[in-house]
Amino acid sequence: MAVRHHFIDAPPDAVWAALADGSRYADWVVGTKRILREDPQWPQVGAEIRFEFGAGPLTFSDRTVVRVCEPPERLELEIKARIFGTVRMAFSLTAWGEGTLVIADEHPLTGLGTGLQGPPAELVLNLRNRLMLRNLDAVVQDKRRSPAVRV
CA distance 142 to 93: 19
CA distance 59 to 43: 25
Contact of 109 with 88, CB cutoff 8 Å: yes
What are the pLDDT tens digits along the chain (151 aa)? 688 999 999 999 999 999 999 999 999 999 899 999 999 999 999 999 999 988 888 888 999 999 999 999 999 999 998 777 898 999 999 999 999 999 999 888 887 666 666 666 677 778 888 999 999 999 999 988 876 554 4
Q: Which domains does the chain have, with CATH numbers?
A: 2-144 (3.30.530.20)
> In sequence order, what are the beta bridge partners of 63?
50
- pTM of model > 0.75: yes
Which residue in 40, 43, 37, 44 sits closest to 18, CA to CA? 43
